[in-house]
Amino acid sequence: MAVIFSIILSIVCGFAGYVLGSVPFGFLIVKLTKGVDIRTIGSGRTGGTNAYRAAGFWAGLATALLDIGKGALAVTLVRYFFGEQTQGWAEALTGVGVILGHNYSCFLGFKGGAGGATAVGTGMALWWAAGTPALLLGCVMIFGVGYASVATLVAGLSVAVVFTLAAIFGWENFGWSYAVYGWAAFILCAIALRPNIERLRNGTEKKVNILKRPQGQGGA
């Protein structure tokens, strides 16, 4: 019975994470500040890069921080209330649910972002040593290299690799639940960024320039 309860609780937490992740901060911020639908601009996604493209630096920054925050909040709440009862699976499924909600929001006809910022937020809440490198690498990629899509993929891959190493070497006694989360998060980000990956292969992906609002369809 305890195992069945743990499984059901983890699934419920994953669904709750999906609902929270579906809150489209980028859409709301751009709509309130510019009166336009972010889905009609740039990549059409609701993440920080496209909010920056649609409404400027502060809108993009606010969107990114809120997307990070909703991932961290969801995992933190589940861990606080149910963590000891599910051996990490409730937090892991919550993290996956938040990213699913962000990428396929039930409030926007199952449209959304690419999940990079939200993956960083959930990763940081699960274990700072996994989320922090992802955040730093993502920032280096977007400000140094200029490709938001690459920043998202590198950040997601970083989280997956760190949690996999933690599972293999027994760091922090996480087991494999967080590693499953990490690879699921990376795969969801990669699926959302398929058009960007194709443009990277073709050499047509557009860079993000923080000094000049970018134009076109590139970015996350």
Q: Per residue, what are the HEC states of the chain?
A: CHHHHHHHHHHHHHHHHHHHHCCCHHHHHHHHHHCCCHHHCCCCCCCHHHHHHHHCHHHHHHHHHHHHHHHHHHHHHHHHHHHHHHCCHHHHHHHHHHHHHHHCECCCCCECCCCHHHHHHHHHHHCHHHHHHHHHHHHHHHHHHCCHHHHHHHHHHHHHHHHHHHHHHCHHHCCCHHHHHHHHHHHHHHHHCHHHHHHHHHCCCCCCECCECCCCCCCC
pLDDT 10s digits, 177-208: 999 999 999 999 999 999 999 999 998 888 87
pLDDT of residue 87: 66
Q: What's the pTM value of the predicted model, to 2 decimals?
A: 0.90
Say yes or no to pLDDT of 213 above 70: no
pLDDT 10s digits, 90-134: 999 999 999 999 999 999 999 999 999 999 999 999 999 998 999
pLDDT 10s digits, 7-30: 899 899 999 999 999 999 999 999
Listed by start position, the domains of the chain span 2-202
Q: Read off the pLDDT of each residue in 204-216 and give the average, rounded to a whole number.
A: 66
From CA 22, how far away is CA 70, in angstroms rounded?
10
Q: Read off the pLDDT of each residue in 42-57 and give the average, rounded to a whole number.
A: 91
Within 10 A of 217 (CB to CB), how many other CB atoms are there? 17
